[in-house]
Amino acid sequence: PLFKSRHDSFLKSQENLTDHCLSMIDRIEGKEVLEIGCGNGVQSCYITETYKPSKMTGVDLNPYSIEIAKSEKSRRNITNIQFFVDDAQKMRFIEDKSQDIIINIESAFHYPDKSAFLREIQRVLKPGGHFLIADLITLNKKAFSLREKWKKVQHLNHWNIERYNIEIQNAGLKILQTDDITEAVVKGFRSYPLWFRQMKKKGFLNDYVFKLFYTIILHWYIFLLTKRREYVVFQGIKDS
């Protein structure tokens, strides 16, 4: 969630994040857009309805997420969008030099081989095409070995900003701008009491357990984003 107003719902706060990221790209209307790590497809559908690309494609490694995404596409009656189960590090369904814009929001920190992911972006982008990656960056220059082992168990792969800059360049891509949105995301998370008030009531015990669990999780996210991580958006181009 990205904070814009203290009255924003959780869904609106998530749309704020999408809108802010896409504001870094000059034009989306009429373009072919690929979202890598599309999850349940809600963001791809929102982009299609709001920004009017000529064609939208979403890929995700989780078959269950793609099943939900296809259902959401049908529910909204969107015709110019397609979803595939695919691996961000080696995409089978996306052809070389086929995409005008590639979007990857809050997914790359799960990829074991992010260098391969960046090479895939370079492969499928058209010359002059734009990419946008919003990712959680570690503030540590070097992680402790025990923490690294735990992160691998949790399927987490956080790079620091220096490595990101080097690896993007090594992949044959060029960064045009970066944006640290950590403060706005933390402020968004701190709006959770409003979200709880807006939540449908399901019974005292159910609501209590739900709120307790998510309060712990949200405070953990806030701790990480204020002590160990940054939320950074990279926007760049594949040179012609």
What is the amino acid identity at position 220? W
Per-residue pLDDT tens digits for 109-120: 999 999 999 999
Q: Which residues pair with 34 in a beta bridge?
A: 57, 102
Q: What is the pTM of this model?
A: 0.92
Residues contacting residue 90 through CB under 8 Å, at least 6 positions apart: 116, 120
Per-residue pLDDT tens digits for 94-142: 999 999 999 999 999 999 999 999 999 999 999 999 999 999 999 986 6
Instruction: Express the helix, strand and coil content of the chain in percent, nearest 5 each.
Output: 45, 25, 30
Question: 163: which 2 tokens?
Answer: 């490595």
Per-residue pLDDT tens digits for 6-40: 999 999 999 999 999 999 999 999 999 999 999 99
Segment (H or E) for 226 = helix 204-227
Q: How many CA atoms lie within 13 A of 218 on its CB side?
A: 19
